Copies of this chain bind each other. A is one copy, B any other.
Amino acid sequence: MPKFKLNTHISARFNIELENLRNSVLTMGGAIEQQLSDTLIAMRDNNRGLAEKVVFNDLNVNSMEMQIDEECLRIIAKRHPAASDLRMVLTVAKTTTDIERIGDEIERIARMIAKGKLPDSADIIKNMLSIGNHVMEMLRGTLNAFARLDSQAALLMYREDEKIDAEYKNLLSDTVAEMQRNSEKLEDWLEVLWAVRALERVGDRCKNICEYVFYLTQGKDMRHSPMESLQEKLEDLR
């Protein structure tokens, strides 16, 4: 009986540690959501001060990543987690890398606004905001899927990226049309182009996180399914 109790006790504490680890990721995710939300407000209102705040806040996100990585190491070294728990901890380490890089993409968008380079086109801004809101939903849904380790939700969000890609392609061709009309301001428009691409990249990174959730819950690797990848490559080259 004492042994059983001891095990339960260790396991309970370990569970708490794993739970804390997941909560740390969610806190980091929440910080990123706030960053994106502030960026979209700054974009809507052309608020350069708020955009600057986002740029500097990115430092906090970076230090969160390092803390969580250290925590992952500590847990593995101390607890020797077995198969499924180990997958969980490694997934956390990979997820924080993606969250940190989502932060970098958001910062890139905020920097364009902070530098006063918002495009001189209400339509383009409107469409950037529209993709931005869509990406925001995807980010929130992805973090929720991670929080609840919900593979169905992860799959749903994973598929959402296709729609974002379609919107992105439209926005890209609108942006190129504007660049053609304003070719003397091409350098400024490039900043817009990088920001548009950064929005799309946030979607890609959410997709990575969905893959990790799927892997964790289903034990199947969604990354690079050979047939699907081959198909994609063939279509891309056409």
Contact = CB atoms under 8 A, between A and B. Distances in A.
Contacts of A179: 179, 183, 186
9 contacts: A56-B233, A62-B223, A66-B221, A76-B90, A77-B86, A111-B236, A173-B187, A180-B183, A193-B193
A173 B186 CA distance: 10
A237 B97 contact: no
A55 interface: yes
A149 interface: no
Contact of A184 (B76, B114, B180): B180
Contacts of A44: none
6 closest residue pairs by CB, A with B: A62-B224, A183-B183, A80-B80, A180-B183, A176-B186, A180-B186
A226 interface: yes
Contacts of A187: 173, 176
A71 interface: no
Interface of A: 52, 55-56, 58-59, 62-63, 65-66, 72-73, 76-77, 80, 82-83, 86-87, 90, 93-94, 97, 111, 114-115, 172-173, 176, 179-180, 183-184, 186-187, 190, 193, 221, 223-224, 226, 229-230, 233, 236-237
Given A56-B233, A94-B97, A77 B73 contact: no
Contact of A63 (B59, B172, B183, B224): B224
Contacts of A90: 72-73, 76, 90, 93
Given A111-B236, A237-B114, A73 B87 contact: yes
Nearest to A173: B187
Contacts of A62: 223-224, 229
Given A94-B97, A180-B184, 15 more contacts: A55-B233, A58-B233, A63-B226, A65-B223, A65-B224, A72-B90, A73-B90, A76-B76, A90-B93, A111-B236, A115-B237, A176-B186, A176-B190, A179-B179, A190-B193
Contacts of A82: 77
